[in-house]
Amino acid sequence: MSQAPEPFDIVVLGSGPAGQKAAVQAAKAGRSVCLVERDAVGGACVHHGTIPSKTLRETAVHLAGFRVRAGRHVPIEIPPDLQLQSLMERKDAVVEAHVAFLQKQMERNGIVQRHGRARFVTPHVVEVESVYGDRSLLRGSVIVIATGSRPRAPEGIPIDHERVLDSDSILTLSHVPRSMTVLGSGVIACEYATIFAALGVRVTIVDKGKRPLNFLPASIVDRFVAAFERNEGCVFVGNATVRSVQWNGVDSVVTQLDNGWESKSDVLLCALGRVANVEGLGLEHAGLSTNARGHIPVDADCRTSVPHVFAVGDVIGPPSLASASMEQGRRAMRAALSLPRGNAIDTIPAGIYTIPEIATVGVDADTARAQGIECVVGTARFDELARGQIAACTDGVLHLVVDCATRRIRGCQVLGEGATELVHLAQMAMATGATVETFVDGIFNFPTMAEAYRVAALDADAQLLRMAQR
Amino acid sequence: MPAATISDFDAFVDQLLQSGALELPMLPSAMAETLALCQSDTADAARLSHVIHRDPTLAANVLKVANSAAFALPVPCASLQQAVARLGLPRIAETALALCVRGTVFSEPSCRDALARLWRHAALSACFAREAARLLRRNVETAFLCGLLHDAGKAVLLTSVARAAGSRGVDVGDLAAALHARHQDVGEQLAIAWKLPDPVAAAIAHHHEPERAHAHGQFAAIACLADLLAHFVDACDGAQMPQADAIRRHPSIALLNLYPDQLQTLFALASKAQASAEAFA
């Protein structure tokens, strides 16, 4: 390996949502780009995470929805020998189509692809090792680290990928289990917990926090927990620390908690966070290091402490959402190339694909008040909407956070089916500086879930009026 | 047709396949029930013990395996239920499946030695496949079956030829290349007849060209790699022992995205895999 490094304007490490958008942005700006991927194109998002889990979720949602709407007359039972893969029959087609799209996009934009593991040898040069152990060098004027993350394997949890699984191996289960313990109550934990609950699995979520999804307002989370616990045999156990997890050697995983509680289940999903994929990157050769949480520190433009090196996506820590990662990739490249960035990063929504869905954008009332913003929260309950009743989506709620001084929309939180789509109306309202009147005066189709905005806006408007009258 | 004088083995196999004369062994009922239990959410120790107990030879052999050196139990198991309690449901189910396959596919007395070598290779491949699946986050039980059954077509063909040859016997050495050329086709027939899960059927049919297994390419590639690793540590079925470098550069490595250090992990598991496979001998 004595040849000179192959030069590129931009070298991107990782082809997940963040790396891919960074590469495309740079290529569209006329730069030469090389994208290095250690696994299959698309990264964990396409092959182990977002896309496979959402494909299973789609089936679970339809099964659960059908049961609610017509199950009394046309019962649907999942046969005990049904393979889990049968419920994800479209996964391979979806993944194949997505990968083909990504490949075409790379080719169309003239992005050079290298398959292998990269590590820094100098701040501007990375070595790429192929699966066959061959090595080559790439030189980048700018280098983007987008190597993603993997499930954390906490000490003392015997993850064997057979009975005790992590979020990368949970979908390799051959059949739908009878019962499942889920450790953790973050986004991934709650998504899988509710998907399996909808499939009829008795799910126990265990977490040290009082509530799951602790970054969301309590009013949303309490409704979420209530909806989850309405599934037969499903329970959230909060304020509990795991003392031990053991496969009993015969037929169940035994989870013992510090409060004396014991859970026995067919399988256990350990979803206690993710760790950044930074080992083996040779960050020290680039003059970089990680913070206490193992993430690469960056500024608002995702630039690291080494000016020509950017880090985007899961390697920089929360929010670790595909949508945010894409924007980080795009933004980092625009910063690297001194192009205008805009302020879209302030209004990136968060979509949580639980059943029911949850979505947020902007701030909630508590956060707004902590920032010194006086606000009111307009609320619409889905059981008050004609469409909510028709679609049997009565669990839902929409909160619209309205700034008292400017009457502008500051944030929105939605729980209920369609939440991840519905939230975009609030996002656009925020991006355009719309006031609550936009939704009060706006006429939506009837019956639709979007009507929730008008109901919430009218509620907020009434509160503002009362305040003005005091 | 005396096997020793077969000049056109392909024609012979074609004839067997087309005429329906190929003797595909019946799926043993214990194996069918064990497979169904493994794929259902109702598997429990009592039901599995019940299934195994219905076949006394199987029950005795499961106990023998449970008491073998591979599991290193401090006190020998005297009953099946005790074995299930000590080794766990998955290992006992795996053992029962392996023993059913051995008794059904690898048991023709007229070519006992050759089938014993093939069986040894199957068991070793199964153990390597299991470890590879664990490393690559694939279903461990499915991978075990892929490894176990990948060369079942060879055993079926060999049995058919040996029976056709009768007392004249067969020279397995002469047939090695021909067996290799046709065993995937015959294995595929067996997989269809036994209604094996799709990934297992795909691995049997395409383990020498895993990219043709499409959606199940990963399991076919795992079977392919397990096959290579088993030959590497023990050229027990008479096949040529591959060199470590050839394995490192094999196309299945790229399909699995297995980097040199990960492959080294699998090489390092050789003695564990061998010990597990010995238990099925």
Nearest chain B residue to A93, by CA: B215
Give tens-digit pLDDT for B243-254.
888 999 999 999
> What is the Cα–Cα distance from A235 to A214, expressed in whole angstroms?
17
Amino acid identity at B75? V
CB contact under 8 A, A251 and B45: yes
Nearest chain B residue to A38, by CA: B257
The minimal CB distance from B257 to the residues A131, A162, A250 is found for A131
CB contact under 8 A, B137 and A161: yes
Measured in residues, chain B has a length of 281
CA distances from A108 to A15, A100, A111, A152 (A): 16, 12, 8, 36
What pLDDT band is residue B240 in, cutting at 50, 70 and 90? low
Beta strands in A278-431 (DSSP E): 309-311, 350-352, 358-362, 375-381, 397-403, 409-415
> What is the Cα–Cα distance from A3 to A18, expressed in whole angstroms?
30
| Per-residue confidence (pLDDT) for residue B1, from 0 to 100 | 45
Kindly report the nearest CA distance between residue A309 and chain B, in angstroms. 26
Contacts of B271 (CB under 8 A, 6+ apart): none
Q: What is the mean pLDDT of chain B?
A: 83
Which residues does chain A have with pLDDT short of 70?
1-2, 79-83, 250, 343-346
**Apex CA A216: angle with CA A215 and CA A217, to 5°?**
125
Is B36 a domain residue? yes
For tokens 């070298």, name the residue: A11
| Closest to A347 in 3D by CA, of A434, A440, A218 | A434
What pLDDT band is residue B4 in, cutting at 50, 70 and 90? very low
Kindly report the nearest CA distance between residue A78 and chain B, in angstroms. 10
* CATH number of the domain to which B272 belongs: 1.10.3210.10
- Identify whether the C-beta of residue A138 lies closer than 8 Å to the C-beta of residue A126: yes
Is B129 a domain residue? yes
> What is the Cα–Cα distance from A246 to B208, expressed in whole angstroms?
39
Give tens-digit pLDDT for A114-146.
999 999 999 999 999 999 999 999 999 999 999
Instruction: List the 275-304 stretch of A: residues with Cβ below 8 A of B.
Output: none
> What is the Cα–Cα distance from B162 to A153, expressed in whole angstroms?
52
| Per-residue confidence (pLDDT) for residue B73, from 0 to 100 | 65
Laid out side by side, the sheet with A242-247 consists of A242-247, A253-257, A262-265
- Residue A136's beta-bridge partner residues? A128
Is B20 a domain residue? yes
CB contact under 8 A, B39 and A178: no
What pLDDT band is residue B3 in, cutting at 50, 70 and 90? very low
> What is the Cα–Cα distance from B108 to B249, expressed in whole angstroms?
37
User: Is residue B43 within 8 angstroms of chain A, CB to CB?
Assistant: yes
Q: How many domains does chain B have?
A: 1
Is B116 a domain residue? yes
Instruction: List the 219-278 stretch of B: residues with Cβ below 8 A of A.
Output: 248-249, 253-254, 257-260
> What is the Cα–Cα distance from A154 to A170, expressed in whole angstroms?
16
Instruction: List the 231-260 stretch of A: residues with Cβ below 8 A of B.
Output: 247, 249-251
CB contact under 8 A, B45 and A83: no
| B35 or B225, which is more confident | B225
Chain A partners within 8 Å of B248 (Cβ)? 132-133
Is B216 a domain residue? yes
What pLDDT band is residue B43 in, cutting at 50, 70 and 90? low
Is B1 a domain residue? no
B237 has pLDDT over 60: no
| Per-residue confidence (pLDDT) for residue A345, from 0 to 100 | 60
DSSP conformational letter for A442: -
**Apex CA A396: angle with CA A393 and CA A399, to 5°?**
150
B104 has pLDDT over 90: no
Give tens-digit pLDDT for B159-218.
888 887 776 767 777 778 888 888 999 999 899 988 888 899 999 999 999 999 988 899
Contacts of B98 (CB under 8 A, 6+ apart): B123, B126, B148, B280
CB contact under 8 A, A174 and B142: yes
In three-state form (DSSP H/G/I as H, E/B as E, the rest C), the secondary structure along B210-223 is HHHHHHHHHHHHHH
pTM of the model: 0.84
Give tens-digit pLDDT for B10-37.
777 777 777 776 778 888 787 778 777 7
CB contact under 8 A, B260 and A133: yes
| Per-residue confidence (pLDDT) for residue B7, from 0 to 100 | 55
Selected for mutation to probe chain B from A160, A167, A175, A196 (highest B CB count within 10 Å) is A175
- Residue A379's beta-bridge partner residues? A399
Domain, as residue range, for B14: 6-280
Is B218 a domain residue? yes
Burial A386-403 (b: 16+ CB within 10 A, else e): ebbeebbbebbbbbbbbb
| Closest to A254 in 3D by CA, of B227, B262, B88 | B88
| Per-residue confidence (pLDDT) for residue A297, from 0 to 100 | 98
> If you write DSSP's letter for every residue of A45-77 in order, what string do you get?
HHHTSHHHHHHHHHHHHHHHHHHHHHTTTS---
Instruction: List the 184-203 stretch of B: residues with Cβ below 8 A of A.
Output: 197-199
> What is the Cα–Cα distance from B25 to B159, expressed in whole angstroms?
10
Contacts of A284 (CB under 8 A, 6+ apart): A120
Kindly report the nearest CA distance between residue B254 and chain A, in angstroms. 6
Give tens-digit pLDDT for A430-469.
999 999 999 999 899 999 999 999 999 999 999 999 999 8
Nearest chain B residue to A248, by CA: B88
Selected for mutation to probe chain B from A250, A253, A270, A277 (highest B CB count within 10 Å) is A250
Selected for mutation to probe chain A from B257, B263, B267 (highest A CB count within 10 Å) is B257
Is B79 a domain residue? yes
